[in-house]
Structure 1
Amino acid sequence: MKPLVSILIPCYNCEKWLAETLESALAQTWKNLEIIIVDDGSTDNSLAIARSFESENLKVIHQQNRGASAARNQAFHESQGDFIQYLDADDLLASDKIERQIQLLGDSNSEFVATGEWARFYKTPSEAVFKSQPLWKNMSPIDWLVCAWEGEWMMHPGAWLVPRNIAEKAGFWNENLSLDDDGEYFCRVVLASQGVRFCQGAKVFYRSGISGSLSASKSRTAWESAFHSLELRTSYLLAIENSSYTRHACATAFQRFIYNNYVNNVRDLIRKAEEKVKFLGGSEIKPIGGPRFQILAEIVGWKSAKKIQLVFNDLKQIF
């Protein structure tokens, strides 16, 4: 019998996009599917839309608002699939995405996880341009994480296909995290596997530019979550391999957190990150910025350049 795939969808106030997302899940060429959508206390019409799709293989669960990670955990608890596919309620799967990845992994007892291609779109998926990235290849767990952190590369949550045995080893999503909860979760997934297998042609369409999205959040809670996720991820990696190779990747990740958040009101987190970088042996990466920023940083230092850049951006918004 063909393996059962569980497509698990957390949903909160996604009435504009939910139907399209569910249609992309139902259109999969791999037909042995169960789709579980958990409405996380939506205040719009999302629940009604989800229930209009309810069928023998599409189950709708409603819960009070507890966050995306709690919704994913509830969906996983209800699932029976041999493979797990997470999908946000505003993103889309190519019709053959899952079939391609199952053909690559083969048996549902595979010790490997599959990734695929992903690209952003803002209005229609036809805008998406799939451009190869360094993570788009087969790698060992250690090499995959080091590559991701050294270059600040990401793999979209919907791009993964995870055998259930690996998902069970990795454990549940951390419900104490908001921003970068997926980074922390899939770090555990990667380390619970024997390696990552990249599947050419298995495509996910990442809807971007949504106002109020979690990924664009700039709240204190979001920054704390991102920092805590980074602490957890680096601790997981160093527990498996504590070498100059892995320590440098961890130091680079913390240094990048400093650059990205220096002008935010999180000085306590910056100090903690600076201590981590020093303890891990340092990182030589430079702050990212345009030609003007780079010239200014050479003259007054990157910290002052960041502050000047912030003032300039604020003035542009006013005028």
Structure 2
Amino acid sequence: MPYFSVVIPLYNKETHFKKTLDLVLQQDFSDFEVIIVNDGSTDNSVKVVESFSDKRIKLFHQKNKGAAAARNFGIKKAKAKYIALIDADDEWRENHLSILKDCIEKFPEAALFTTNYSIKYNENIIKPARFSHFSLPKTAIKIKDYFKHSLADNLVWTSAVCFTNKTFLELGGFNEDYLTGQDLDLWIRYVLSYEIVFHPEITMLYHKGISDSLSKNKYEEIRLQLFTSYLEEEKQNLYFKKYMDFKRYGIALRSKINGNTITYRRAKNFIDFNNLSRKQKVLLKLPAQLLQHLNSLREIAYKNSFFLKHFK
């Protein structure tokens, strides 16, 4: 039985996937299997996988159902106690799995483990993830205030995480009704139910891209459903409420920019404006045309290392 099962959903990533898979196979801890779930790719992604001869690779196929269904399917096929995830265009450093193994050995009672990560916005700009109210520790620690620390970037990110197969099944896996944000939903459920461990070393690179935040406008209603599904739990944790308000703020702002008035108003109604910064409040009040103009300047801003984080 392998120590880790590495599960990778694959959909039309032929340009990036060879590098991703190469880096997975080059880990300095080698006791793992790689489960790749081809989610109905229509490009040459499968041919990329078939060009590898490593016996640890297991390729499965399904009709296109989305990342949540692909990950759930892959985890059902997993043999290991610990599941590590990576998306088909992200990158691991060679010590990623060994760092996670160290976390597991230090805190075997925990259910979810994550490392620090960097974000690639474009070919010229890579920045470490930014966490709120959080000084990086020197070694792995248990996290007590996940939502407090995740008001900027999320402390847990999909391609940096591993968890026990048992707890994943207990939580019901990824919610396949969510075609977007299903990973954030699962991490919320983990945080509300189990202990999580964070390691400060950066071992993963997340490929974000500048246009990502607005490229899935049709999914904003799904995001809103997700980020209004824990209203009772929010009452028990002020930072959880603030975290969710920040997510709803992002939905409202993107919806206003894209002329989606109904979703903009619905998202806005769930926000406690006391949790927003002055700048966020101002942006929500600006006319849609002006917001569209500001958004068009984002690429220039990124090239000059000035990040318009309000548009996340």
- Using the size of structure 2 for normalisation, the TM-score is 0.80
Instruction: Write out per-residue CA displacement over residues 17-40 of structure 1, whole angstroms, 9 at most, x where no aligned residue.
Output: 111111111111111101000111
Distance in 2, matches of 1:85 and 1:229, equals 24
State the match for 1:28 in structure 2.
Answer: 27
Distance in 1, matches of 2:227 and 2:297, equals 32
Instruction: Write out per-residue CA displacement over residues 122-173 of structure 1, whole angstroms, 9 at most, x where no aligned residue.
Output: 677x9744366336554545x202432x445454311112122332222211
Counterpart among 128, 131, 146 of residue 130 in structure 1: 128
Instruction: Write out per-residue CA displacement over residues 33-53 of structure 1, whole angstroms, 9 at most, x where no aligned residue.
Output: 010001111111111111222
Distance in 2, matches of 1:264 and 1:123, equals 23
The alpha carbon displacement at 1:276 in A equals 1.9
Task: Mark the CA change 1:243 to 1:316 in structure 2 (over 3 Å): closer, same or farther.
Answer: closer
The alpha carbon displacement at 1:179 in A equals 2.4
Spell out the pairing of 1:231-250 with structure 2 (5 A cutoff): 231-232=228-229, 234-235=230-231, 237-238=233-234, 242-250=236-244
Contact 2:13 2:88 in 1 (8 A): yes
Instruction: Write out per-residue CA displacement over residues 151-208 of structure 1, whole angstroms, 9 at most, x where no aligned residue.
Output: 45454311112122332222211112122222112212222322x3221325101224
Counterpart among 275, 278, 290 of residue 308 in structure 1: 290
Partner SS, residue 94 of structure 2: coil
Give structure 2 stretches of 5+ with no counterpart: 300-312
The alpha carbon displacement at 1:313 in A equals 6.0
Task: Mark the CA change 1:17 to 1:250 in structure 2 (over 3 Å): closer, same or farther.
Answer: closer
Task: Mark the CA change 1:270 to 1:316 in structure 2 (over 3 Å): closer, same or farther.
Answer: closer
Instruction: Write out per-residue CA displacement over residues 232-283 of structure 1, whole angstroms, 9 at most, x where no aligned residue.
Output: 3x34743xx62545444434443443234323333222222233225xx853
Matched, 1:205 2:205: yes
Instruction: Write out per-residue CA displacement over residues 54-95 of structure 1, whole angstroms, 9 at most, x where no aligned residue.
Output: 543210011111111111111011111111111111111111
Partner SS, residue 161 of structure 1: strand
State the match for 2:85 in structure 1.
Answer: 86
State the match for 2:149 in structure 1.
Answer: 147
State the match for 1:44 in structure 2.
Answer: 43
Distance in 2, matches of 1:39 and 1:257, equals 30
Task: Mark the CA change 1:97 to 1:316 in structure 2 (over 3 Å): closer, same or farther.
Answer: closer
CA RMSD, Structure 1 to Structure 2 (Å): 3.3
- Number of residue pairs the alignment of both structures matches: 294
Matched, 1:267 2:261: yes
Amino acid at match of 1:309: L
Contact 2:129 2:153 in 1 (8 A): no
Distance in 1, matches of 2:127 and 2:250, equals 26
Give structure 1 stretches of 5+ with no counterpart: 289-293
Distance in 1, matches of 2:154 and 2:3, equals 31
Contact 2:220 2:251 in 1 (8 A): no
Amino acid at match of 2:225: H
Spell out the pairing of 1:98-177 with structure 2 (5 A cutoff): 98-106=97-105, 109-121=108-120, 128-130=126-128, 133-134=131-132, 138=141, 140=143, 143-148=145-150, 150-151=151-152, 153=154, 155-177=156-178
